[in-house]
Amino acid sequence: MLKPLFKYPGGKASELKYISPLIPEHKVYIEPFVGGGAIYWSDNARKYIINDFSSEVTAIYSLVKNQDPVFLNYFKQLSALWDCKQNSANKIELQLIDYLSNNNDVYKKIDFNSILKDEFNNSELWSEYHEIFTYELETIFNRKVQNLKRIQEKTLVTNLEENALGILGAAIYMTVRRIYNDTSIDEQPQLKTVLFFFLREYSYSSMFRYNSFGKFNVPFGGNSYAKKSLTSRYEQITAPNVISKLQNTQIKTGDFSDSIEDTDDTFIFLDPPYDSNFSTYNQKEFDKKEQIRLRDTLLTIKHAKWMIVIKNTEFISDLYSYDNWYKITFDKSYSVNFKNRNNQLTEHVIITNYQV
């Protein structure tokens, strides 16, 4: 069974045990809100149609499908840059030891350019943003030292190597975030897509959130994220079985309704944005009107079989109360509660137009 290429909030990998046994036999698989595509990657059909409103999400699938050389080159560059921190962490660790043991002024200037000249100064991807990287590194380092000094007042700090790796990871991440926000997908689609992939992998809880100016602003995931390899993802996106499946997949970008085909031997899996106060879909609000439009679209289907998985609210329960539509509920435990937008334990519902 293939795994999703990238992390995606709300992905269904952990719900496969509930969903897979309920999927009927089919020859054509359609997923109008594909996201990370956990169900798509686990499915075995003769033909696939996947869609997402996000052009950056579908660009990943298309560029991997075509093994675009520019995209792959950027990916290799970013992977190499990310791996540089493994060789540089000891240098940052020595600086941390110096500050913590000698009680130096936190704001003492450190020449990070000299310290890391062999690792980061020669990156083609970094050429225009090296000053930003240095600024982020200084800022994150000073903030980390302040935190560690407070901890050191109560207990011995022993994980300096891990903290050094986290400092470098956060500095790279923040610089990538800046490049992403400065890059247009229309002008540089391959670069924008690689940066999007990276941010999906290393942003806090894989969240994707934008400020009022349309700039992505989710922070770095933390020290544990800095240990994760990006090279393994490169190996995954160039794997023959991944490419083969995508070669048999039609990839669409746009409204969910444009990907739905009502034909025999077709299964449509729907994982739409949930009915909640925080329900945006690639900076597009997916509100109650959209939920109703989705329901109305499903009402028109006469031949294909479909399944929708969604949070079980009163609104959704009423919306899908029709004869010959079947419901199964299950509990989903959220590992992260981002600013109280998710209850830690939430009831979800599986709705089908066929009996399971």
Mean residue pLDDT across the chain: 88
Handedness of CA 67, 233, 282, 185 (dihedral sign): negative
Segment 180-183 long-range contacts (CB within 8 Å, at least 24 positions apart): 180/216, 181/215, 181/216
Instruction: Give pLDDT, residue 110.
Output: 74
Among 196, 241, 194, 224, smallest CA distance to 3 is for: 241
Average pLDDT estimate for 299-312: 96
More reliable by pLDDT, 114 or 298: 298
Task: Tell me: pLDDT of 346 over 80.
Answer: no
- Choice among 124-128, 232-236, 276-280 with the minimum mean pLDDT: 276-280
What percent of the chain has a predicted confidence (pLDDT) above 70? 89
How much is the pLDDT for 276? 57
| Mean of pLDDT values over 270-278 | 74
pLDDT of the residue at 51: 98
Here the tokens at position 131 are 């000053």
Kindly state the average pLDDT of the residues 159-175: 94
Tokens 């500095």 found at:
171
Cα 244 to chain centroid, rounded = 23
What pLDDT was estimated at residue 180? Answer: 96
Q: Identify the residue with better confidence: 263 or 112.
A: 263
Backbone angles phi, psi at 332, to 5 degrees: -120, 125
Q: Is the dihedral of CA 193, 197, 203, 207 positive or negative?
A: positive
Cα–Cα nearest to 259, from 40, 21, 16, 22 = 40
Least confident span in 84-88, 123-127, 314-318, 334-338: 334-338
Considering the entire predicted model, what is its pTM? 0.90
Spell out the residues 6+ positions from residue 230 whose beta carbon is closer than 8 angstroms to its own.
75, 78, 79, 82, 83, 198, 201
Q: Which two tokens stand for residue 121?
A: 């100064």
* Residue 106: predicted pLDDT: 53
Pick the more confident residue, 201 or 122.
201
